Amino acid sequence: MTEPGFVPLEFHEYPPETMQQRAADLLAELQRRRSVREFSDRPVPRDLIATCIRAAGTAPNGANKQPWHFVAVSDASVKQQIRAAAEAEERAFYEQRAPQDWLDDLAPLGTTWQKPFLEIAPYLIVVLAQRFERLPNGDTSKNYYVQESVGIATGMLITALHHAGLATLTHTPSPMDFLGKILQRPDNERPFLIVVTGYPADDAQVPAITKKPLDDIATFV
Ligand code: IYR
């Protein structure tokens, strides 16, 4: 491969007060983000989803391999298949597999095996992690820090969708191999999670839970 070389950094410097204001504004916006489980079926423009996926694709990642793929599902029959397969796994989880302490931890969230939002929400963005890359000549090429890279990209996707004015839910049916099959994804990809997105239902409610204070989550040395 030819070396891409180097270009000057495009860096925006702000006055210190502006920096503080920008940080506080973003904090306030992110504090309004909640995981939503009651969605409206109101449509969302495909271009909006595409722009948010492009934002996710700017994430820092191992050796710039960009080891992710996003499948934005709006097709009703594909959503129906995903719901049916996810509910089968979730039912086994809630009724058999989950240890009691896990169920106790989930109780305040009010979750059950039923996932109607998988059909109601206009978009299910399935995030897939590419464990390695398949080159056009059939060779494989290594990817690095795949979980970290895809996790960061997913965080940026959720932030972009929230910033654009959409509600999201990170949904992790387990196991979720069925997603690769339904979506006919290649064997180098593993489903990472589903970002359910759309407008919230008019009467949507969220659990009365809070975030830890700064002192609990940060230490300055
Ligand atoms: N995947 C299940 C269970 C679940 C697990 C955790 I950890 C959560 O924070 C929420 C749900 C489900 O989606 O219901």
- Torsion over CA: 22, 167, 109, 155 (sign): negative
Radius of gyration of the chain (CA): 20
Give the CATH number for residue 199: 3.40.109.10
Note the pLDDT of residue 1.
60
Q: Is the CB of 89 under 6 A from ligand 1?
A: no
Q: According to the model, what pLDDT value does residue 3 have?
A: 85
User: 183: domain range?
Assistant: 37-205
Q: Is residue 215 part of a domain?
A: no
Cβ-count burial 117-126 (b if 16+ within 10 Å, e if not)? bbbbbbbbbb
Is residue 35 within 6 Å of ligand 1 at its C-beta?
A: no
| Count of domains observed in the chain | 1
DSSP secondary-structure letter at 14? Answer: -
Question: What's this model's pTM, rounded to 2 decimal places?
Answer: 0.96
Residue 210 CA, chain-centre distance (Å), reads 21
Low-confidence ranges of the chain (pLDDT < 50): none
In a domain, 179, yes or no: yes
Report the separation in Å between the CA atom of 134 and the middle of ligand 1, taken as the mean of its atom positions. 32
Which among 47, 40, 36 is positioned nearest to 72, based on CA atoms? 47
- Residue 27 within a domain: no
Q: 143 lies in a domain?
A: yes
Which residue, judged by its Cα, is nearest atom 8 of ligand 1? 106
Ligand 1: centre distance to CA 172 (Å): 6
Cα–Cα distance between 45 and 165 in angstroms, integer? 12
Query: Can you give the pLDDT at residue 69?
Result: 98
